[in-house]
């Protein structure tokens, strides 16, 4: 914890004085002594009544004053946030094979649900873009911090024919800030990330691995997520002519992640897909920001003061 006005903490030097004055007030002056027929019994009764409960109200009052001094000193607390220069492109396969039902309810709906979770759980201030691809690639949402806009775009995604993974990576590269804006960072790759999700193999366009090399040259990290299956045979929910397109090329995706200094994930369920995106969220580029917490300290001091006064009123005995 740090303080913007540390000199205000000097007021804490008054705390020992207040404690001494309180203790002094508990000792009656000599002239208040009166005669009593059984002094021993009176002393025993006095010892029984002298316990910590009778000092609780005063203790809470003193604690409220201490917390108020901390509030006056304007404390700050460290808060983690994403580096404002960090940018992420969500690159999503919208080919017809995403209708397959081997991932419930189907690959496409599972992907949309995972994207929504990822967007909602992003660190504050993270810039995100959305790129979709089938036989063509398209920048649907340029870099933005507007989560509502991203969520709306995810809701309106629709499927099309074809799979051009290499073109999608190049489109994603173009959506990210140039290397010149990240060159002074200790790790420029940490400020530019592509998260590729596909359920098929590239059937058109630029070679995906060559596109990954271009990303590596520009210091861009590429993660790859393969959803569905790698094995041959009928695919639930799809016509037979889509069987080949619905089996992604795992070796190519692993190579994309290796070249792009990223991670590869194989997911065959909606739960695993959400876990993959959550894991990637934790790898965002963080920085520490100091936020002032004076309001919180003031509120706590007020609560303690009210408790002190309330307890004192409750224990008060009027004859």
**Token couple for 264:** 């590869």
Other Cβ atoms closer than 10 A to 7: 9
* Average pLDDT over every residue of 220-248: 75
Selection from 57, 59, 40, 76 nearest residue 289 by Cα: 76
63 or 42: whose pLDDT is higher? 63
% the chain with pLDDT above 70: 81
Give the residue with greater pLDDT, 288 vs 248. Answer: 248
Q: If DSSP codes are grouped into helix, strand and coil, which group holds residue 115?
A: helix
What is d(CA 160, CA 146) in angstroms, rounded to the nearest whole number?
26
How many whole angstroms separate alpha carbon 199 and alpha carbon 90?
Answer: 15
Residues 169-222: tens digit of each pLDDT:
999 999 999 998 888 887 888 889 999 998 877 888 899 999 999 999 999 999
Q: Whats the size of the chain, residue-wise?
A: 319
Q: Write out the two tokens for 313.
A: 């009123």
The answer, yes or no, to whether residue 318 has pLDDT greater than 50, is no
Give the residue with greater pLDDT, 11 vs 46.
11
**Four-residue CA torsion sign, 121, 122, 125, 131:** negative
The Cα 128–Cα 87 span in angstroms is 6
Specify which residues 290 forms β-bridges with: 78
Q: Tens digits of per-residue pLDDT, 18-42?
A: 777 777 776 665 555 555 565 565 5
Residue 242 has pLDDT above 80, yes or no: no
Question: Over the stretch 131-163, which tens digit does the pLDDT of each residue have?
Answer: 999 889 999 999 999 999 999 999 999 888 888
Domain positions in the chain: 2-26+40-78+291-315, 84-284
The CATH T-level fold of domain 84-284 is: Rossmann fold (3.40.50)
Using alpha carbons, select from 206, 67, 68 the residue that is nearest to residue 133.
206
Residue 319 — very low, low, confident or very high, per pLDDT cuts 50/70/90?
very low
What distances in angstroms separate CA 184 from CA 144, 187, 216, one per listed residue? Answer: 22, 8, 17
Does 9 or 31 have the greater pLDDT score? 9
Bridge partners (DSSP) of residue 133 are 93, 137
Average pLDDT over residues 45-54: 58
Return the structure tokens found at 200.
Answer: 């098929």
Q: Looking at residue 224, what is its pLDDT?
A: 93
Structure tokens at 13: 């030097």
């Amino acid at each position: 914890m740090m303080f913007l006005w540390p000199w205000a903490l000097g007021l804490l030097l008054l705390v020992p004085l207040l404690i001494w004055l309180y203790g002094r007030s508990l000792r009656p002056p000599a002239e208040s002594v009166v005669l009593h027929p059984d002094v021993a019994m009176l002393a025993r009764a006095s010892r029984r009544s002298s316990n910590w409960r009778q000092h609780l109200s005063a203790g809470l009052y003193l604690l409220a004053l201490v917390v108020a001094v901390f509030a006056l000193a304007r404390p700050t607390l460290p808060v983690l946030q994403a580096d404002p220069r960090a940018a992420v492109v969500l690159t999503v396969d919208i080919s017809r094979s995403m209708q397959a039902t081997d991932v419930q309810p189907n690959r496409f709906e599972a992907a949309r649900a995972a994207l929504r979770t990822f967007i909602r759980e992003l660190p504050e201030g993270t810039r995100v873009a959305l790129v979709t691809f089938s036989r063509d690639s398209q920048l649907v949402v340029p870099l933005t911090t507007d989560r509502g806009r991203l969520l709306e775009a995810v809701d309106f995604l629709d499927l099309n024919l074809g799979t051009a993974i290499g073109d999608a990576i190049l489109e994603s590269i173009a959506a990210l800030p140039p290397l010149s804006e990240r060159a002074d960072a200790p790790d420029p790759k940490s400020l530019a990330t592509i998260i590729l999700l596909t359920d098929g193999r590239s059937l058109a366009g630029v070679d995906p691995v060559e596109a990954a090399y271009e990303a590596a040259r520009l210091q861009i990290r590429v993660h790859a997520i393969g959803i569905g299956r790698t094995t041959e045979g009928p695919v639930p929910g799809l016509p037979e002519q889509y069987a080949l397109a619905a089996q992604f090329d795992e070796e190519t995706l692993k190579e994309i992640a290796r070249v792009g200094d990223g991670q590869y994930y194989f997911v065959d369920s909606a739960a695993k897909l959400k876990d993959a995106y959550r894991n990637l969220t934790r790898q965002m580029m963080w920085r520490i920001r100091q936020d002032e917490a004076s309001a919180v300290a003031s509120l706590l001091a007020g609560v303690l003061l009210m408790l002190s006064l309330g307890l004192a009123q409750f224990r008060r005995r009027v004859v």
